[in-house]
Amino acid sequence: GQNIDQPTEMTATEGAIVQINCTYQTSGFNGLFWYQQHAGEAPTFLSYNVLDGLEEKGRFSSFLSRSKGYSYLLLKELQMKDSASYLCAVTPRPGNTPLVFGKGTRLSVIA
């Protein structure tokens, strides 16, 4: 089976740093994605990790440990507009295959 776990909700303060964790157990692994989704909108791509380590892209960073089946998304200098759901997704097989999504973490940024 496929199982991806992430916290349901998180709250953080504007200007702070927040880390959203994701653990996965899937039948295979060919990469892990993080998407941001605002209410009523489609997901937008944030990051992709296929090798262990940290990928940094501006205020957002994503980390992967394949041996632990673990990833996190780090958001720095939080802004109010960062309030959204953050979806962790795994592609179990190489090639053009569908993503397996976690349930998403709803992040609320407060003043």
Partner 1 sequence: GAVVSQHPSWVICKSGTSVKIECRSLDFQATTMFWYRQFPKQSLMLMATSNEGSKATYEQGVEKDKFLINHASLTLSTLTVTSAHPEDSSFYICSATPRSSYEQYFGPGTRLTVT
Chain residues that interact with partner 1, rule: CB under 8 A: 31, 33, 40-45, 48, 50, 87, 91, 96, 98-104, 106
Please state, as a whole number, how many other Cβ atoms lie within 10 Å of the Cβ of residue 79.
Answer: 11
Shortest reach from residue 13's CB to partner 1, in Å: 23
Shortest reach from residue 103's CB to partner 1, in Å: 4
CA-based end-to-end distance of the chain: 40
Closer residue to partner 1 (CB): 67 or 95: 95
- Show the tokens assigned to 104: 């998403």
Closer residue to partner 1 (CB): 53 or 111: 53
Alpha helices by DSSP H, listed for 1-111, are none
Closer residue to partner 1 (CB): 15 or 94: 94
Nearest 5°: phi and psi at 81?
A: -70, -10
Shortest reach from residue 99's CB to partner 1, in Å: 6
